[in-house]
Each structure stands twice: as C-alpha cells, then as structure tokens.
Amino acid sequence: MSFVEAETTGGVATVTLERGKVNALNDAVVDELAATFEALRRDAAVGAVVLTGRGKFFSFGFDIPELLPYTQEDFAAFLARHPKVSEVFHPSLPSHPDAKAIARDYVRHGSMLSFRIAGADEERTRHYADVLATCVIVRYALSFDGVATKVNHHKTVSEYFTPIDRLQRNGFDRLIRLAVGLEDADDLCAALNWTLHHGDDDIYRARLVYLGPPGYTLPIHLLRPEDAALPKPSMQ
C-alpha cells in the first residue's frame, strides 16, 4: 500500500502524504518518503519540492502507538486493576463517562489518562503525584508535550484557584493526570507500583526547597538499598 504520491508540474514536484485521518508517520511512510525524495533528487526536471498532506492536516508526526512495546490501553487496564487505585479515566475503558461519544467519534484513544487513588484527599493526591515524579522514570508536567511519560496533579497545575466544591461538582477533584510515553513498560509500572504502595511512608520523603505557589514544597523519596530487590511488577 502506498502512502506517498508525487506529481511534477512546471519543474515543481508536489509530494503528498496520505495515511489515515491525520497522516501519521510510521516506518513504511518514512521509507517511502526517502525513496520518493531520492528519485526526485535524481530527476533533472525537478527544481523544487513541496511536501503536503491529504485532507485537513499535513501530519500529526510519528504514530506513537506503533513505537510502543505495549499499548496505552494495556497501561490503563493495569491501573484499573491496581488495588490502590479507585478510578481510572481513559477512552479505552468501558467505564468512561463519555464511552458512547468515544465509540462514535474517536479514531485513537491517545496516551492521556487520569486516575484517583483510593482513600486519598486532594492534598494526598498532590503528594502522590509529586512522589511519582521523583522516581526518575516519570517527569512532572506543566504541559504534556514530547514523548516522555509525564505526570501532574490536576488542581495544582490547572485549577489552583478553583474552590474544591466546584472541582467536585465538575468531577475534576483528586485527579492525577498521566501521559504515557516511550519508556519501558515494566519501568513505568514499577515506578507507579512503588509510589502507590509507599507514597505515604514518611521515612521515604524529605522536604525540599520552595517550588511553586506559597506553601507548596516537593517531596522526594529516599530509597533504601533493600528496595532494589522488590519484585518488578508487570502489566501482564
């Protein structure tokens, strides 16, 4: 199947991408583009090249799910099964409140998900997000860009001045947001599993310098040598 079309008029070659609704790139598209540009480079009649995409978009970039050794759906299911997690929100889960609209309109489920920790209030939820971000594998996010796994506490980053009762009324309270990136799946699961089981252990955290709004400090866990021997969880 061809994803690249080339047409030359008046010395100008137009190269058009066509793969799905967003012209996402994968290895086959990249190989076909390389071959097309090499052929145009050798064509003496071509003086310029225009690269475009069919439809509404040029390209959304690489098809990230194809690069992953696991799917975001697997990761959402892993969290949904975790005994320390009370709720998970991801388009792939039948429990999502907008499941009908998702089934009707979504092309891909995407890498963003949010979840709530069982029994944690807003302050403890913020703390768990901070602890997860100190596990090195996961980075704290002010914006969810790039291909690294990122986490944040929704209220701290996006709703800092919103009253709790309004958050609760809108269903945005006690949320940890997570964008799943390209890191090894077992490493991500291990970081989450450790945080969920040890996030409340005071012996593993210390207060650092001021970071963020007044009164906001970032806790960091202190791993003991024996923690390296903890069993490594898997999504299976």
Do 101 and 217 fall within a single domain?
A: yes
Do 86 and 188 fall within a single domain?
A: yes
Domain assignment of residue 60, yes or no: no
Do 12 and 80 fall within a single domain?
A: no
pLDDT at position 222, please?
Answer: 39
Asked if pLDDT for residue 100 goes beyond 50, the answer is yes
Domain assignment of residue 236, yes or no: no
Cα–Cα distances in Å, from 76 out to 64, 102, 178, 234? 16, 16, 10, 13
10 φ/ψ sector (left φ>0, alpha ψ -120 to 50, else beta): left
Q: For 154-159, what is the mean pLDDT?
A: 91
pLDDT at position 234, please?
Answer: 47
Do 47 and 78 fall within a single domain?
A: no
Do 47 and 11 fall within a single domain?
A: yes
Q: For 45-74, what is the mean pLDDT?
A: 79
Do 46 and 156 fall within a single domain?
A: no
**Which residues are bridge partners to 62 per DSSP?**
25
Longest dimension (CA), the chain: 72
Domain assignment of residue 64, yes or no: no
pLDDT tens for each residue of 126-147: 999 988 888 878 889 888 888 8
Contacts 24+ apart (CB under 8 A), 164-173: 164/122, 167/122, 171/97, 173/122
Do 106 and 47 fall within a single domain?
A: no
Domain assignment of residue 234, yes or no: no
Do 194 and 105 fall within a single domain?
A: yes
Which pTM was predicted?
A: 0.61
Q: Which domain holds residue 135?
A: 69-229
pLDDT at position 114, please?
Answer: 93
Domain assignment of residue 45, yes or no: yes
Asked if pLDDT for residue 163 goes beyond 60, the answer is yes
Do 145 and 223 fall within a single domain?
A: yes
Domain assignment of residue 28, yes or no: yes
pLDDT tens for each residue of 6-56: 999 999 999 999 988 788 888 888 889 999 999 999 999 999 999 999 988
Q: Output the domain CATH number for residue 208.
A: 3.90.1150.10
Do 150 and 215 fall within a single domain?
A: yes
Q: Output the domain CATH number for residue 47.
A: 3.30.300.220
Asked if pLDDT for residue 212 goes beyond 60, the answer is no
The secondary structure of 98-125 as a DSSP string is: THHHHHHH-S---SEEEEEETT--HHHH
For the chain, the domain total comes to: 2
37, 49 Cβ separation under 8 angstroms: yes
Q: What tokens were used for 136?
A: 């090195």
Residue type, 228: A
156, 126 Cβ separation under 8 angstroms: yes
Do 121 and 201 fall within a single domain?
A: yes
Domain assignment of residue 62, yes or no: no
pLDDT at position 47, please?
Answer: 93
Domain assignment of residue 61, yes or no: no
Which of 35-39, 55-59, 66-70 is modeled with the greatest confidence? Answer: 35-39
Q: For 204-216, what is the mean pLDDT?
A: 40
Q: For 87-100, what is the mean pLDDT?
A: 86
103/224: higher pLDDT = 103
Do 29 and 132 fall within a single domain?
A: no
